Amino acid sequence: MSYRLLLALALALAWTAPALAQDDRPFTAADIEAAQYGLSDLPPGRSALTAKVQILLDRSGTSPGVIDGFKGGMSQSAIKAFERRAALPVDGVLDPHVWNLLQAYAERPVTQSYSITEADAQGLVASIPTDYAEKAQMEAMAYTSVAERLGERFHMDEKFIQFLNPGTALVPGATIQVMAPNEPLRGQVTRIIIDKDNRRVAGYDARGQMVVDYPATIGSSATPSPEGTHNVRSVAINPNYTYNPEVNFKQGDNDRKLVIPPGPNGPVGTVWIGLTKPTYGIHGTPTPSQLFSNQSMGCVRLTNWDAEELAKMVSIGGTTVEFLQPGVTIADVTGSGAATATPVAPIALPEGTATPEVPVTEQPLALPEQAGAAIPVAPADPAASAQPAPETPAPDAGTPDAAAPDTGAPDAAAPEFPTADAAPAEGQVDPLSDALTGALPEGFVVPPLEDAQQ
């Protein structure tokens, strides 16, 4: 009996090993550049095509989270959001329509060479302790490796950097291949919609047009996120974190107030966007690859780079934040993604067809200072900055590990903010709209977003 069991296990491993090897076989930056759609969904495992789709989604403002080349939940949710934006059937499957529309963001190579500098290797720490008292003794919640720093800069999983550069030590002077994201988007977000079921956070402008859409950790079953509609009350870039066991949770034996220094590996990452709902906010995270596996105590976590981008587009007192009830999606409240069938004719871009030019977006929205503490401008590498960061009153703790649940900011007196409906910037052009105009066959009409979503 044991012999048959061992034989069965051996046969199972023999059958599985080639499949695993095929799903995660090595590929290069050149393979990503050359990857083309093959008339089927993304292949299983890790592939050059998935990495290419991820960077194009990232450039479109429909974030896949970390770029790692793997077909997974965050990438599928990003494709759904992209389909919703384009009023295509929302199924999360790569098809000819999605692929052709993504080409609006392929105006330049999707990978690039990068030479590691001395500055990239400076200001690192050996590790980040779990205990908050130990964290409070550190000078900064800095990066722990060159790979981690470059991963955030190029929106990549740090292991994917090693994957694309096998045998290359990540030391100053080394030249490596990395992804090529665009500069952060600029615009004005007047409405944020938080979709708990799909774990997405979408930002809309005053015209009801989607500007950005991000994957997120949104509460948990034990400690769900809030309900209803609130306003943005404050924004802090590169904040420190105030631990107060009398207001928040109690971690281990720490029974006194502690101030944890700022940095990308801090409990709230590099950004805190506080809400008029006391103790709640939207913030970064030290573990961007775990957005869909982590849980929070009710706040909303984004990757640090997505949170930084969003922070520059919100308006204090002029951006509403709407938490949808379970079972209600962004598509339900915006009327987008209502298509039930694909266009009447297949989309095909003829060989040699020029892709639409991506326009230069508007300048970042200046956030008013009178509604809260001064908002500092963070350097490109927050952990390397010598400037002191503002102390933020105990925002959501971000949970960098399972032993440290996150909490929100303590209750503070906040003025009532009216809902703002700012006018859109003139001359702003959406490259996806251009792509839809140039790529969809004649006779296919993209339904506009409903006025009610403003």
- Residues serving a catalytic function are 283, 299
User: Which helix (DSSP H) or strand (DSSP E) does residue 151 occupy?
Assistant: helix 146-153
Phi-psi region of 74 (alpha: psi -120 to 50; beta: other; left: phi over 0): alpha
SS3 202: strand
CA torsion 66-72-73-77 (nearest 10°) is 70
Contact yes or no for 410/279 (Cβ under 8 A): yes
Alpha-carbon distances, residue 189 vs 91, 240, 285, 421 (angstroms): 26, 25, 21, 10
Question: In one letter, which amino acid is 452?
Answer: A
**Could you give the CA distance from residue 210 to residue 337 in angstroms, rounded to a whole number?**
12
Q: What is the DSSP letter of 67?
A: B
Work out the number of other CB atoms within 10 angstroms of the CB of residue 137.
11
CB-based contacts of 93: which residues, under 8 Å, 6+ apart? 41, 79
Task: Specify the amino acid at residue 162.
Answer: Q
* Nearest by Cα to 93 from 76, 105, 81: 76
Instruction: Of 290, 247, 294, 243, give the one whose Cα is nearest residue 266.
Output: 243
Within its chain, how far is the Cα of 107 from the centroid?
22
For 113, the enclosing helix (H) or strand (E) is strand 111-115
Nearest to 269 by CA among 184, 179, 383, 372: 383
End-to-end Cα, the chain, rounded Å:
68
Give the Cα-Cα-Cα angle 65, 163, 64 (nearest 5 degrees). 10
Task: Name which of 189, 196, 242 is nearest 420 in CA terms.
Answer: 189
Report how far Cα 250 is from the mean position of its chain's Cα atoms. Answer: 29
Distances, alpha carbon 36 to alpha carbons 43, 51, 99, in Å: 12, 11, 9
Residue 148 amino acid letter: E
* Residue 408 Cα distances to 369, 400, 411, angstroms: 22, 15, 9
Beta partners for residue 320, in sequence order: 191, 231
Q: Token match 């971690």: residue?
A: 251
